[in-house]
Chain A
Amino acid sequence: MTAGPLTYVYAVARHSVALAQATHAVEGVTGSPVHLVPPARDSALVAVASPVPEDDFREAALRRHLEDLAWLEALARAHHHVVEATAAHSTVLPLRLATVYLDDDRVRAMLDDRHDLLLGTLEQLDGHVELGVKIYLDVASGTAPASAPAPDPTLSPGRAYLRHRRAEQDIRDAARQAAEEAAGRIEAIARTHAVQRARHRIQEGELATGPGTNVSNDAYLVPAAHADAFRIEATHATDGLTGVHVDVTGPWAPYSFATLPDPDEDAP
């Protein structure tokens, strides 16, 4: 008994010969080759898709798999790989992870139904990239900072403890002020170079990469011509500040800005 394949969709893009050639050799989430699904009607849009086994991607099975971090990571990296391959040749509209249709016909119907919204959003993203900017406090909360003064041997243990705690708190407060200053600088840099901002959750927990304590995690949509300048200036946003550093990621495909306007609302 073999379950038929479903269609996993990674992204929507404009069709081009270069895109077709570039995605031809790309492997999708289960190693199956990626293909382009054109809409039923005459249009420049295509969906970037690959077949996936029904046994793994039916709702119940998928939900179970997604609880497995190793499986989720493999899926996320494969999804990203296809989106990157697409973005190298075309403006790309990435879809949310694990967007799965029964077959290519349903994907075609989706492209037809959402054609104008998809095309309009692609046009807004044309010529832009996403860059991530994360600010970190170097002082991990709850740990003694290396720069705290050595305890004064003339103090009682209780007073020495309190003074040590006070010193730690002062260092943390200074680092938070430095982080605010850095955030202000990045906002100014964004006013020059970026057109949109999206805020992501603060990164903590086992997957947080550190070092330090993440205090802001933003994504910026930046015209490609400004990407280098934005990256360089943002990287230097903590110059001269103590206890804080910045991590710039990307360029990314515009994941954080790939949102369709609500079709029920009148466009402005």
Chain B
Amino acid sequence: MNPPDAVPARSGDPLPQRQVALIDLLDRLLSGGVVLTGDLVLSIADIDLVRISLRALIVSVSERNPAPWPGAGPGGPTGTP
């Protein structure tokens, strides 16, 4: 165990309690999380509609703003980096 002051807190460090940015949260809640199928009231296909309806606010990688290096694009977990 580290002594309590082994890693001094710096003023620039984000606090764990800080409210997370909505866009970071939506990245995770709309494309992450376990997707269950079956006896649901709401199917996951409807969630995809959310993303479409919010296209004006949350847009994906486009030709206008390409990723600056090869392979950087949306996708699921890709294994050990």
Contacts and interface: CB of A to CB of B under 8 A. Distances in A.
Interface residues of B, number: 54
A204 B67 CA distance: 12
A160 interface: no
Contact of A196 (B35, B42, B80): B80
Contacts of A99: 33, 36, 40, 42
Given A94-B32, A207-B23, A207-B26, A199 B14 contact: no
Interface in A232-265: 232, 248-249, 251-252, 255-260
Contact of A200 (B33, B40, B74): B74
Interface in B20-72: 20-36, 38-44, 46-47, 49-50, 53-54, 56-62, 65, 67-69, 72
Nearest to A248: B14
A187 B53 CA distance: 34
User: What does DSSP make chain A's interface, helix, strand, loop or mixed?
Assistant: mixed
A221 B77 CA distance: 9
A201 B24 CA distance: 10
A207 B57 contact: yes
Interface of A: 6, 12, 57-59, 62-63, 66-67, 69, 72-73, 76-77, 79-80, 93-102, 106, 109-110, 113-114, 118, 121, 130, 132, 141, 176, 179-180, 183, 187, 190-191, 194-209, 213, 215-217, 219-221, 228, 232, 248-249, 251-252, 255-260
Given A93-B34, A94-B33, A202-B65, 11 more contacts: A57-B42, A62-B42, A62-B46, A99-B33, A100-B41, A179-B68, A196-B78, A198-B75, A198-B77, A216-B68, A260-B35
